[in-house]
Amino acid sequence: MGDKTEALTSILKLQPVVPVLVIQDLAHAVPLARALVAGGLKAIEITMRTPVALQAIRAVADKVEGAVPGAGTVLNAGQFHQAVEAGSQFIVSPGTTIELLDVARKSSVPLLPGAATPSEVMSLKEEGYKVLKFFPAEQAGGAAYLKSLSSPLAGMQFCPTGGITPDNARDYLSLPNVVCVGGSWVAPKALVEAGDWDGITRLATEASRLAA
């Protein structure tokens, strides 16, 4: 678990914001990923919410230099295996199940499991996890809630996702137990559909500077 924790942490520390993408059109995957990498956001979470998600992960893994593709919204062992086969270098789940923990234990690809309560965090800590996804961040209590976990659950690190915007991202990034945040604002639907890759690179550049 130690090696996988280090691998996951090194990916999440590449940038303060991990883009969370819902790709509807496969043709958008490569230029979108290139635009994000150009703006300094190399680790990219492609959610398994669309029929083209696996193809999008594979395309980014094969064709976008510098990108570190991951799969998000992974709900079961089957999706975990499919995402790894497509080229995912990390796996993200909104919550945690025994099935996911079992498949993750056997894989060399690290899992960022979701947690939202102290009990969930404690259970994952017992499993050897040190880095978790805090989801849904804003709805579950926001930065103030996450800050309150830092003392009783010392040593646990989080990537908050859900309701994170440029306006509140720094509230999270300033916390001692936050390694990065996940956000969809760096790839807004309107810009993606318009093919405004320069606009997305500008948003990515701004996001990459949030921790400065």
Write out the catalytic residue numbers: 45, 133
Q: How far apart are CA 5 and CA 18, in angstroms?
A: 17
Closest CA to 183 of 136, 130, 150, 141: 136
The secondary structure of the chain as a DSSP string is: -HHHHHHHHHHHTT-SEEEEE----GGGHHHHHHHHHHTT--EEEEETTSTTHHHHHHHHHHH-TT-EEEEES--SHHHHHHHHHHT-SEEE-SS--HHHHHHHHH-SS-EE-EE-SHHHHHHHHHTT--EEEETTHHHHTHHHHHHHHTTTTTT-EEEEBSS--TTTHHHHHTSTTBS-EEESTTS-HHHHHHT-HHHHHHHHHHHHTTT-
